Structure 1
Amino acid sequence: MNVKTKLSDCLRPLMLGALFLGTAANAAVQSIDKVVAIVDNDVVMQSQLDQRVHEVQQTIAKRGGGLPPPGVLDQQVLERLIVENLQLQIGERSGIRITDEELNQAVGTIAQRNNMTVEQFRSALARDGLNYDDAREQIKREMVISRVRQRRVAERIQVSEQEVKNFLASDLGKMQLSEELHLANILIPTPESANSEAIQSAARQAMEVYQQLKQGADFGQMAVAKSGSDNALEGGDMGWRKAAQLPPPFDRELSSMAVGDITQPARTPGGFIILKLLAKRGGEAQMRDEVHVRHILVKPSPIRDEAKTKALVQSLYERILAGEDFATLAKSYSEDPGSALNGGDLNWIDPNALVPEFREVMAKTPQGQLSKPFQTQYGWHVLEVLGRRATDSTEQAREQQAMTVLRNRKYDEELQTWLRQIRDEAYVEIKLPGADQAAQ
């Protein structure tokens, strides 16, 4: 296999777009190293430029494309290196660090996408003349750039509530977020200039097919035997269709049908059609578990150590068991500013919004009962579960989907704007012979 090509395919989705450098590339590019660009507090060296140009030339050659003039290619590649360098400097100033564990995981993902173990991946790199340590370092740099972009670009993207509402109400929004239906059809065709007798005959035939299907006939076999559709030999399989793309009345009828149901024959310009709903995906109701819970939180402090804090919570627990009012004690003792004045009541809450320790204790506590004192990162708690319910969060899920679509739409445009901005604001002095000299 050509590992260089495979690697670029795998790295691109991870924003690890640069090709790897190896001994073969280094041997092909021999030059005296020198600075070709000063970029704020760093530099780009001639060796870096030569190596990247060599890689780009190889990539273009594999695609069968024509190469631009050498001087033009050098300037284009140098500009990319400058922008990459600026992003790496931002990452350094922002304290972005890639741990060995994260890097190992990224390497493992790339190996897996090449259907290899890490050791096999390493051996394949060596066979292609690529250095494993250089590859890891390039992956690390690209991971830093990816995180810089996520932070800096994401904070620039704003999606208003009105934009979400407008998208959900638009035809495009309805289409993108609507459920998908896997359909099969049987078509009893009518000639283009059919008279009333021919139409009635087709209608009777369609109804006969429908009755046989209702009595248990196999839809696929009936499609092969009776359908005039071009997918008849495939059992009438139409594949997956967006519900919003179906013409009325099928859009409304199919959305309310159960999987396995069939429609009554319906007249269309091409004849009478019967549809079967084979499967659904997306668009289903999103149910979310919620818990009504209240708690008392007591935190250690300079005047109350861990042992005394635990003892205080234990005494509150025993007082509640003895009959004292939970809400009254919460108002007097709880140090959770968000719930103390409400008697410790957190109201109905999604368990996933809570820290793991709190969530686990809450899950094990029966409704109407008190938990034993337990510790989280915030301090010591005692809680009472007041109720449990499942709520329909479909609309919230749709709004979140719409928000994601709109943010993704804006990302590429905002990324290019941000890259131009950091380039314009940076001090860059190009020392490449023959290139336009620039100092900013």
Structure 2
Amino acid sequence: MSRLLPSLLFFIFLLGTPLAAQAQALQLDPVESIVAVVEEDVILRSELDMAVNNVTRRLAGRTDQLPPPNVLERQVLQQLIMMRLQLQRAEAMGLRVGDVELDQTIGRIAQQQGASIDQLRQQVRMDGLSYEAFRQQVRDELVISRLQQNFVQSRVVVSETEIDNLLASRTGSELQIHLGYLLVALPDGATPDQIEVARDKIDGVRQLIERGEMDFAAAAMRYSDHQTALEGGNMGWRSSDEIPPLFTHALASMQPGEVSQPLRGPSGFSLIHYIDSRDQSQAIETVTEYHARGLMVRVGELVTREEARTKIDALRARIAAGEDFATVAREASDDQITRNQGGDMGWFPLSAWGPAVANVLGSLEDGELSEPFASDVGWHLIQRLETREQDITREAQRKRARETIVARKADEEFDRFLRQLRDEAYIDERLGS
């Protein structure tokens, strides 16, 4: 699903401020201008300026690729509008991200940056954001990611036959292609005049690229209507199976470095840039599986988080003093999935029970009992029993094949969903007014 939208870090560090920052700005400067109204929400000039500055800073070494300031402003504003619409839809659907999941995600971001949480706080402040605003941005992106997952689960169906057919068509290696994408979008039910205008535009853009007046990335930033415009149209590496048939047909006669002729698809007219290709050989894959048992004290209306912590501490003390974990779990655990099995969670890969469990389990030795740890639903104990290496080559191949088919179907469907979301919304853009 990560391909449906630019990455989490891209939006966190480059695009806009969250709703909390908007409210703060309104309190600090009641006369600040509004650049867009999105349903009952607003986007402020300060939000847009911050987003534009972040994009400009990210491309400091490639300023020649940036479109004129007025064009860049409008492109960034479109990104902010689409983020706001998705957050509104997610809220209407009841999609939420709890504090525990948020803290774990921020911890992973810091780890990826090779920094501690305190160092991350300092970097955020240096970038001109409060830490609370940063946390809200991360929460917003997690909510949007959850919206995407919900969309795929409800709209994209992959049959076992499709997976079988895809695997049967593959050889011992898997070709991957690095693509760039530029879209001149057309509305549903476009008129002949609209089609003609879009065709002239895509022809003109390709001529600019062909004459060397602009490279593909710069053209995508300036002219593309796709969500990857501010990334120069970069679609990343795709397996050949993930690429829509329309593109596959064009790529068959292209060499790396070339740009296609204009292509007409369901979303409009497009150009593709064949950046590079590589072979990914298939190999035997193994995964470490864990056998563990756990118990939980649930937090709810009748049990506060503090009361649950006191109870889990007492249960751990009993187990540490020699009582059988399974007996204690059957008596006191609120986990209805494992309680009757004495807390036995079976064999599973590290991530199967979520990040909270994974973080703790990976730090334990076989036979070791964890300290109490929290999740959004309560307090937990885990005892790691043993580990094993499992050959998952066939399962991994089928999983990748399913993900490939999902990605192929979901890209076009999600673009259509976003267009529909925008078409149905009340949006009043006020740039230049």
TM range (shorter): 0.3 to 0.5
Q: Which has the larger radius of gyration?
A: 1
Q: TM-score, normalised by structure 2?
A: 0.44
Higher relative contact order (CA 8 A, sep 6+): 2
TM-score by length of 1: 0.44
